[in-house]
Homo-oligomer: A and B are copies of this chain.
Amino acid sequence: MNIYEVAKKAGVSIATVSRVINNSPNVRPETREKVEAALKELNYRPNAIARSLAANTTKTIGVLASDVRDSYYANAVYILEQEFRMMGYDMILCNTGGELEKRKKYMGLLLEKKVDGMVFVGSVFKEKKDNTHIMDVSEVVPVVMLNSSLQGNNIYSVVCDDQLAAFKVVESLASRGHREIAYVYDVDSFSGLAKLNGYYSGMQAAGLPIRQEWIIRTESGINGGYMALIRLMEMQASCTAIFTSEDILAAGILKGLLAKGKKVPDDVAVFGYNDSVLARCTTPELSTVDNKVGVLAREAARMLCKVLDGEDTPHHKIIEPELVFRESCP
């Protein structure tokens, strides 16, 4: 079932059929009807592959994310799909696991599949050389980075101001009288560095002491949080508030505090990050930072579509996060 059969049935040339399919304006109404009838009768569906080859555009976007099982990425991917689909694009999904090699490999595969653009969700590597492949890819297709950024001609980015968020968290903690605030982040933490910086500047701005042993790097997952808390307790840390880079860490910390007989928020206040479902499932419910991943994703998708449509758009957008206060720090 191809354009030739349709053309034959409608008694026109394939060019005309193509014109009808792509509703080009210059087709006589009667001709159009004939063709449309044939189209319907034969139940014709265009072959997107052939189309892509001829038109040199696939209407497909490659999306690279670390791991959709993480609710942050899942949210991003969901909204990206929704937005792209609205604009007529499909999405090829790649889970990189945050590994450089996979990322390189997948980007290569996506180029082979001739995606029209790529969205890159997540953090960029610290080493500059580890990001050169992104620069390379951007020579071929536009790249938009979600919550990380890179300087480049054909690279666009939309980020949440995590540093500001962390600053604000510390600020509100301080305004509630907390003076000794710990920060717990995990190995793969998303923009962990930005948050850490915000923590530092927040502490400084509030005139609070910064103690290195209150800054804890732990493994990811609920267990990482639990262990971080245990470490804090073992060193007899006197902090009255704990800020984490991920809700799941905060959940582990709540668990640890419960085990140690500490009351939240009375003995210790806890602050999470991401405003994931999880934050409403713990007891007490978590205060957390809504990092607006949905907004980020929407903006990212729209940016890319604009670029692909030849419209112009700023290269960089910053979204403001919002603090959400719940029981763990009312």
Contact = CB atoms under 8 A, between A and B. Distances in A.
Interface of A: 45-50, 52-53, 58, 60, 67-69, 71, 74-75, 77-78, 81-82, 85, 90-95, 108-109, 111-114, 222, 248, 251, 254-255, 258, 277-278, 280-283
A234 to B, nearest CB: 22
A248 B281 contact: yes
A111 B48 CA distance: 9
Given A47-B112, A82-B95, 9 more contacts: A49-B114, A67-B78, A77-B93, A90-B92, A90-B94, A255-B283, A277-B278, A281-B281, A281-B282
7 contacts: A45-B108, A47-B53, A49-B52, A68-B74, A77-B93, A91-B92, A93-B93
Given A48-B112, A48-B113, A78-B69, A91 B90 contact: no
B283 A112 contact: no
B81 A94 contact: yes
A39 B283 CA distance: 60
A226 B30 CA distance: 61
Nearest to A92: B90
Contact of A114 (B47, B69, B82): B47
Contact of A280 (B50, B85, B222): B222
A282 to B, nearest CB: 6
Given A45-B108, A282-B283, A95 B78 contact: yes
- How many copies altogether? 2
B53 A49 contact: yes
A200 to B, nearest CB: 29
A90 B111 contact: no
Contacts of A53: 47, 49-50, 53
Contacts of A277: 222, 248, 278
A66 to B, nearest CB: 11
Contact of A251 (B75, B248, B281): B281
A128 B68 CA distance: 32
Given A114-B49, A254-B283, A281-B248, A74 B81 contact: no
Nearest to A106: B85
Given A82-B95, A95-B81, A48 B278 contact: no
A260 to B, nearest CB: 14
Q: Top 7 closest A-B pairs, CB basis?
A: A251-B281, A283-B283, A48-B112, A48-B113, A93-B93, A74-B74, A49-B52
Contact of A81 (B46, B71, B93, B112): B93
Contacts of A74: 68-69, 71, 74
Contact of A75 (B48, B69, B90, B280): B69
A75 B280 CA distance: 21
Contact of A109 (B90, B251, B255, B258): B90
B95 A92 contact: no
Nearest to A278: B281
Contacts of A109: 90
